[in-house]
Structure 1
């Protein structure tokens, strides 16, 4: 069913008809398999667009079709909630003198043919090390609720039913040398040289659209790949992350400096990994090869290995049936995550040896940072209680 599934994905990405020949002998059980694939890869609404290009007699059975329709509507509503809140957050932060930059998510959604059909998650906003604490206080004043553990990279909140992450650090690479270089790349453009995108409730430009800062296109092409790759090393990724990168490369290619992007990937030691991602983008998702800043010769083996892992693990590794459930205890869970990530990095070290080597160290450092933040939070709470 892979061929049928990818035909639907390409149809949703580019607005071309799905290959009817692939669906003439698809059984109800086969359609259930395609649905599960789309669900595990966070591509339900995108593949529904592909289904819409098929004649009625080749579409899924009625019950499944209605289920697919309902899930697509839910994804649209989730996107609208985020798009409604975005301008409010942007105004709140800017009026406080901050320089918020929208990361990933809704910003990347603007590159999709149908932005509301990109399966969304949360709102990620970069504010820098000085700006983030101020933004955190502003959210609390608006009635936001703290969610999860604050890491050294971001703090998480819930406001009006939307998950928000205020970032003090955009991303940290595992290799100290590569990470130092990556942070230098960020400092070259933030905050003076951001791009802007227009946002409305529908995700498209209209009379009510609001301009919000996003990263420059060349940096974004680097960052979206890096973010996906870091999650790939940790637990796995879904095809949605590949679709994000593919849509960005396809629709912003005139603004992306291919020479700079290639050099940065080489400097970070991640060109080989990026070529594996590019292999899938071209051979499965339909990206024209000339939209990549590097050649794909000799990448089939590692590209197919990446694809096999993506189809096995699903979105952020949440559908990997090969692993045992995470233990319920706090420290037992931490140890489980560490062991799993270490084992996974060892298996995938050929993609980026230095990143894989340093990843367990990054996990330990992240856990220490979380504990320090927890202790600081306890002390601050005691101090407020005494007052």
Structure 2
């Protein structure tokens, strides 16, 4: 079994709560696996498979201790983020502020074992009519200081060592027509509640939760890069909603209107072939043409790593050299995957690229 095959198998075993027989892992192979796991933001999944005694993984003593230590620290991190989420829900619910929590812990709780997913920040979207009230409330109650973050989408703040992103726009599209359609979908979507750690958290309706999670994934895939963790989130959501009710026709309608059906199917093929998601659990049919994109997509994911940080030569995301590197990368990806979402990609080419060139020339 090659290194990549072993890596993916370790992920699959944790993702679907399966068991396998792996045998001894020497120090060289263990180090290579952990490096790959860090680059793809799935160390929690890989460590869980290694620590599960039924998988018969044999490690050198220092490596075993390192894996146990990471597992413990990851559980502590997720517990801290869970506490932050609980405090946020209690505060906003009490003051009757309408909001919805997206990604992160709302997906983490759907994994077969809690804390397999490495924790990050807490993203939540506040309805436009309540945004300013929520902003003032959090300043008064938590004494937070806001960072503009992404000027197009959200404000950032830290409370009790947990990072929060308060969104006033869930996604920004280059195409005005796509943006208008997406904003209409946002206004019409229902909000449901999901039980997590004894609290009821407002989340997106199943169809829109899958749609948003995918669109967020695809945006980052083209712009900076994604890790396999993003694929795992998508696969886990499809698996969960397949068993708990999903309006597939409504999801397909949203994808068609936005022009992302082909892209969604291609990444579905990736989840099925790479992560072993059951084909019948993916919300729309996947055909041979979709599977043609599996290898090119996975090549980019392994090359760039989570958020593209392992591909970039320039650590600081500014300066002329960084903009040139970023521009070259984007043009490469737009060309390679143009057919998956042509409407949005055309807008990126004609609107975003000239803007970035002008910005680079001013540096």
Asked if 1:29 is matched to 2:19, the reply is no
Asked if 1:224 is matched to 2:213, the reply is yes
Q: Where does structure 2 lack aligned partners over 5 or more consecutive residues?
A: 359-363
Match of 2:361 in 1: none
Structure 2 counterparts to residues 292-307 of structure 1, below 5 A: 292-298=282-288, 299-307=290-298
Give the SS at the match of 2:98.
coil
1:104 shift after superposition = 0.7
Structure 2 counterparts to residues 31-110 of structure 1, below 5 A: 31-54=30-53, 58-110=57-109
- Kindly report the root-mean-square deviation, in angstroms, between the aligned alpha carbons of the 2 structures: 2.5
Tell whether the 8 Å contact from 1:135 to 1:166 is kept in structure 2 after alignment: no
Q: 1:97–1:363: structure 2 CA closer, same or farther, 3 Å change rule?
A: farther
Q: Where does structure 1 lack aligned partners over 5 or more consecutive residues?
A: 201-208, 369-387
Match of 1:291 in 2: 281
Give the SS at the match of 2:101.
strand
**In structure 2, C-alpha distance between the alignment counterparts of 1:363 and 1:154, rounded to whole Å:** 23
Q: What does the per-residue CA deviation read over 1:95-118, in whole Å, with 9 as the maximum and x for residues that have no partner?
A: 333102111111111211112221
Match of 2:254 in 1: 264
Q: 1:328–1:256: structure 2 CA closer, same or farther, 3 Å change rule?
A: closer
**In structure 2, C-alpha distance between the alignment counterparts of 1:211 and 1:91, rounded to whole Å:** 9
1:161 shift after superposition = 0.5
Asked if 1:345 is matched to 2:334, the reply is yes
Aligned length: 352
Match of 1:255 in 2: 245
Match of 2:301 in 1: 310
Match of 2:145 in 1: 145
Q: Which of 6, 12, 15 is matched with 1:13 structurally?
A: 15
Tell whether the 8 Å contact from 1:7 to 1:50 is kept in structure 2 after alignment: no
Q: 1:219–1:327: structure 2 CA closer, same or farther, 3 Å change rule?
A: closer
Q: What does the per-residue CA deviation read over 1:289-310, in whole Å, with 9 as the maximum and x for residues that have no partner?
A: 0111222222222121111111
Asked if 1:241 is matched to 2:240, the reply is no
**In structure 1, C-alpha distance between the alignment counterparts of 2:257 and 2:354, rounded to whole Å:** 25
**In structure 2, C-alpha distance between the alignment counterparts of 1:329 and 1:171, rounded to whole Å:** 22
